[in-house]
Structure 1
Amino acid sequence: MGMAINNLPQIREECEILQLSEKQLREIMVRLHRDIEKGLGKDTHPSSIVKCWITYIQDLPNGKERGKFLALDLGGTNFRVLIINLRENHFDMQSKIYAIPQHIMTGTGIALFDHIAECLANFMMEHNVYEERLALGFTFSFPLKQVGLTKGILERWTKGFSCSGVVGTDVVQGLKDAIARRGDVQIDICAILNDTTGTLMSCAWKNHNCKIGLIVGTGSNACYVEKAELCENFEGGQSRADMLINTEWGAFGDDGALDFVRTEFDREIDVNSVNPGKQIQEKMISGMYLGELVRLALAKFTRMGLLFGGRGSDLLFQRGSFYTKYVSEIESDKAGDYTSCMEVLEELGLDHATEADMAAVRHVCECVSRRAAHLVSAGIAVLINKMGEPRVTVGIDGSVYRFHPHFHTLMCEKIAKLVQPGLQFDLMLSEDGSGRGAALVAAVACRESQQQFA
């Protein structure tokens, strides 16, 4: 060990490209704000990058919703079915997770919806509601063009899905058809929404200031409450003041708007992804990519001879081998302690790492996750500034926000610097948002229709 050279200063210098200055963040905010305005505008929407879809949800929960509701939450490699019994001030909830086998993720749409309908029927059987007619809220976390509360056209698959015959069609109809093919259960699909909307709804049930929903997990997206008169694509008579907008901000940067801060690592991730050129901001933020960003940087520094004495390992040079959960684990070590870092490096076959190497690995993780937190913060600050409300609660869900040890603090500090003076905000972890939120949207929809028929 006597002759170990400390390469940390040079690695820190190499990592400076991963740091966003205040000036860069403010430029990003200007560009995102402009893109959101384009998404909301009637004439600019068709060509806009950040779509700002109208969700057709105009009422947030008021706490008076009652009854039994189903929710279906499809957002990744598995999906959840939930049954929720809303009572005064509290609710019971049971749920079950079902896997989606790889061959179904890449098979036909019909097979996908048949699989979901079968799981739904089994779930109803297990919970003794097989004979009842229940309302269901459907959380579908892929880019949707909403045409109504119960009609959503799939824009494109993301997150490894590629089921044929679904893009360009109404996914609610796809599920209804599958339920009808079975003919054994009675389910009314009351609403389709995405996970950000569900997160907002579930937080708003507890906290009436909640006006923004945010996901920082496998993907990244946000929704917020906008004044209906600013939603130029909303056809349904401006009776009420508010409309929930699903920004689909993961696509921000698809036109090059973020190129001035992207690195060679970002470009490499994009080129090797299933959707090159798409979801550019998401690829700098979300859990699907953070670990790989770190791996690419570590691999580069190893090839430069700055890390691990220039000796890597098969896994270090293998795409996808550095999981995002490793980033959270490594950053959870106390200063000067490298227990988790050592375990991760051993798993990757890098047991020859020195303490200086571990300090460098930790620094790379911190740079990648701090950049993600700062990008998310800039986006949230844009929404808070746009809404101009004196105090807004942001409901947040997703594995990165939930499990990363510093993400919350990084966001609090950065948003505070970027919002207009006098605007206050809180960040609220959504307990199980997208599932409960879907049931709440169904409950609110039923509350509405009951008032109409009353």
Structure 2
Amino acid sequence: MVGIGPKQPPSRKGSMHDLPQNLLGPIKEFEEQFTVDRAKLKQIVNHFVKELEKGLTVEGGNIPMNVTWVMGFPDGEEQGTFLALDMGGTNLRVCEITLTNQKGAFDITQSKYKMPEELKTGTAEELWEYIADCLQQFIEFHHENENLTKLPLGFTFSYPATQEHIDHGILQRWTKGFDIEGVEGEDVVPPLETILKKRGLPIKVAALINDTTGTLIASSYTDPHVKIGCIFGTGVNAAYMENVGSVPKIAHLGLPADTPIAINCEYGAFDNERVVLPLTKYDAIIDRDSPRPGQQAFEKMTAGLYLGEIFRLALVDVIDNRPGLIFNGQDVSKLRKPYLLDASFLAAIEQDPYENLSETLELFERELNIRPTQPELEMIRRLAELIGTRAARLSACGVAAICTKKKIESCHVGADGSVFTKYPHFKARGAQALREILDWAPTEKDKVSILAAEDGSGVGAALIAALTLKRVKAGNMVGIRNMDDMRTLL
């Protein structure tokens, strides 16, 4: 593949050269559409840096660059017991985290609850009632017959939110397939706290955070070299620590220019104007048919929610426009169901260790009721590799852009999310892209290493709640809405 470089994880030894000529055509087209070479990566990063800077201005831009009011990294001395609520795209998780007196150590108890699909397009009241149900079940199970005082809660709300204070947040727009009316443009904390109070639950939101900010803080708690937190999962995003003096949109507050403040980039919205991203016709279909056309352009090319759909659309394209070329005479109706396949489907194809791709054959039979021929399996494998590689290489652009903007020459990046942790070769492909973008010499070790993160949405939420209460105790009111309410948690 053009521009991948010598350290790109090798493809399985296949029989691509033995493929029938009629299948080589679609494969060549897929390679042309999904390959992102070094020059394109650099072009993307240059535009990315400008977009990051624009988002910090008063006018703003596609990338919101949300101020989080998380002011500085933990020092490892934080202590106490905190609840953490993690509302992601697939699951809802409730954790109880005790930060111990041992520096950088913690104990965690947690329960996971499925986010029902119908909730994603239901009513606001149904959403908050469901979250309260989960919190109530957790408290009743783990603290039966205990007389609890107010528990500080770190609420990981992994959607773009404008925050004038750390204990509130106005939802800018839903992502990850959510489309619940009556929540966008509203503060998400009061309706949750109203229901918690009605139920008599001793819980007060101390901090509303994004999972990316949580990942940054949790990872830095155990690794002081971490300067960026990333999510590569259902969505894609990053957070990093900026100096207040480099954030013109909060200049009116008069804070010291060297004060650190975490920025939640929300860069899934990078290049919504479609200036530089190498879009394919499949990306255009995904955008057109999404709940929010024209938004989250970068996310729709890189995030786990969309990779399986890109793959499905590419196969359907061949079926419809080259009749009889693949799966000839078979019932392909299952393959026509949008979003039937997710990133785990592609991951399973790329993990198939067998020369004859027998596991991929079984996967297609089981999930799609299709029995591909050996040449078709080779094409399927190549398509999965191309889509997975493009996602990894594009994902590296966000990290490279932050490093470029901040003039970071070396650091660790804490990364979480199912695509990073479970998709084969994603980490290595991203590392190779960073080498190409940042022009490291072939003999140099990786200067920017993307590493598996600590639990940002759990431990990170607890740490940020602890950091907030530390500021309350010190009488630092910056970015805190109601000091009196917060003092009840001390």
TM exceeding 0.5 = yes
Task: Provide closer, same or farther for how the CA distance between residues 352 and 167 of structure 1 changes in structure 2, counting only shifts above 3 A.
Answer: closer
**2:309 touches 2:341 (CA, 8 Å); kept in 1?**
yes
**1:19-418 residue pairs with structure 2 within 5 A?**
19-42=35-58, 44-45=59-60, 48-87=61-100, 88-89=102-103, 90-128=105-143, 131-182=148-199, 184-234=200-250, 235-239=252-256, 240-258=258-276, 261-303=278-320, 304=322, 305-309=324-328, 311=330, 313-334=332-353, 336-349=355-368, 351-418=370-437
Task: Provide closer, same or farther for how the CA distance between residues 11 and 105 of structure 1 changes in structure 2, counting only shifts above 3 A.
Answer: closer
Deviation at 1:18, TM superposition (A): 0.9
Task: Provide closer, same or farther for how the CA distance between residues 358 and 63 of structure 1 changes in structure 2, counting only shifts above 3 A.
Answer: same
Q: Give the Cα separation in 1 of the matches to 2:460 and 2:79.
A: 14
Give CA deviations for 1:223-271 in whole Å, capped at 9, x if unaligned.
1111221111225432353211111111112112245x10111111111
Q: Give the Cα separation in 1 of the matches to 2:135 and 2:76.
A: 27
Task: Provide closer, same or farther for how the CA distance between residues 310 and 24 of structure 1 changes in structure 2, counting only shifts above 3 A.
Answer: farther
**1:413-452 residue pairs with structure 2 within 5 A?**
413-419=432-438, 424-452=447-475
Q: Give the Cα separation in 2 of the matches to 1:428 and 1:13.
A: 34
Of the structure 1 ranges 237-246 and 327-336, higher mean CA displacement relative to structure 2 is found in 237-246
**2:85 touches 2:93 (CA, 8 Å); kept in 1?**
yes
The number of aligned residues is 447
Task: Provide closer, same or farther for how the CA distance between residues 419 and 312 of structure 1 changes in structure 2, counting only shifts above 3 A.
Answer: farther
**2:361 touches 2:371 (CA, 8 Å); kept in 1?**
no
Over aligned residue pairs, what C-alpha RMSD do you find?
A: 2.2
Deviation at 1:103, TM superposition (A): 4.1
Q: Give the Cα separation in 1 of the matches to 2:35 and 2:376.
A: 20
Match of 2:34 in 1: 18
**2:403 touches 2:409 (CA, 8 Å); kept in 1?**
no
Q: Give the Cα separation in 2 of the matches to 1:348 and 1:70.
A: 39
Q: What TM-score results when the alignment is normalised by the length of structure 2?
A: 0.86
- Equivalent residue letter for 1:392: C
**2:302 touches 2:391 (CA, 8 Å); kept in 1?**
yes
Task: Provide closer, same or farther for how the CA distance between residues 190 and 365 of structure 1 changes in structure 2, counting only shifts above 3 A.
Answer: same
Give CA deviations for 1:379-416 in whole Å, capped at 9, x if unaligned.
11111111123421111111111111100000111112
Q: Give the Cα separation in 2 of the matches to 1:124 and 1:284.
A: 39
Q: Give the Cα separation in 2 of the matches to 1:450 and 1:344.
A: 56
Q: Give the Cα separation in 1 of the matches to 2:184 and 2:368.
A: 42
Q: Give the Cα separation in 2 of the matches to 1:61 and 1:364.
A: 43
Deviation at 1:367, TM superposition (A): 0.7
The SS at the match of 2:413 is: strand
Of the structure 1 ranges 230-239 and 89-98, higher mean CA displacement relative to structure 2 is found in 230-239
Q: Give the Cα separation in 2 of the matches to 1:107 and 1:296.
A: 28
Q: Give the Cα separation in 2 of the matches to 1:358 and 1:300.
A: 16
Q: Give the Cα separation in 2 of the matches to 1:390 and 1:431.
A: 23
Deviation at 1:337, TM superposition (A): 4.4
Deviation at 1:39, TM superposition (A): 0.4
**2:65 touches 2:266 (CA, 8 Å); kept in 1?**
yes
The SS at the match of 2:131 is: helix
**1:11 touches 1:306 (CA, 8 Å); kept in 2?**
no
The SS at the match of 1:295 is: helix
**2:72 touches 2:241 (CA, 8 Å); kept in 1?**
no
Deviation at 1:310, TM superposition (A): 7.1
The SS at the match of 1:331 is: helix
**1:7 touches 1:307 (CA, 8 Å); kept in 2?**
no
Q: Give the Cα separation in 2 of the matches to 1:283 and 1:174.
A: 30
Q: Give the Cα separation in 2 of the matches to 1:385 and 1:196.
A: 19
The SS at the match of 1:375 is: helix
Task: Provide closer, same or farther for how the CA distance between residues 83 and 151 of structure 1 changes in structure 2, counting only shifts above 3 A.
Answer: same
**1:121 touches 1:130 (CA, 8 Å); kept in 2?**
no
Of the structure 1 ranges 228-237 and 15-24, higher mean CA displacement relative to structure 2 is found in 228-237
Task: Provide closer, same or farther for how the CA distance between residues 130 and 81 of structure 1 changes in structure 2, counting only shifts above 3 A.
Answer: farther
Of the structure 1 ranges 109-118 and 197-206, higher mean CA displacement relative to structure 2 is found in 109-118
Give CA deviations for 1:306-362 in whole Å, capped at 9, x if unaligned.
433475611122222222211001101236241321122112445431111111101
**2:49 touches 2:404 (CA, 8 Å); kept in 1?**
no
Could you list the runs of 5+ residues in structure 1 that have no partner in the other structure? none
- Equivalent residue letter for 1:449: V
The SS at the match of 2:153 is: strand
**2:92 touches 2:114 (CA, 8 Å); kept in 1?**
yes
Q: Give the Cα separation in 2 of the matches to 1:373 and 1:58.
A: 30
The SS at the match of 1:288 is: helix
The SS at the match of 1:82 is: strand
The SS at the match of 1:278 is: coil
Deviation at 1:91, TM superposition (A): 1.3
**1:203 touches 1:428 (CA, 8 Å); kept in 2?**
no
Q: Give the Cα separation in 1 of the matches to 2:43 and 2:227.
A: 24
Q: Give the Cα separation in 1 of the matches to 2:388 and 2:466.
A: 37
The SS at the match of 1:289 is: helix
Task: Provide closer, same or farther for how the CA distance between residues 103 and 404 of structure 1 changes in structure 2, counting only shifts above 3 A.
Answer: closer
**1:212 touches 1:224 (CA, 8 Å); kept in 2?**
yes
Give CA deviations for 1:135-161 in whole Å, capped at 9, x if unaligned.
111100111111111121011122232
Percent identical residues: 35
Q: What TM-score results when the alignment is normalised by the length of structure 1?
A: 0.93
Q: Give the Cα separation in 2 of the matches to 1:132 and 1:412.
A: 47
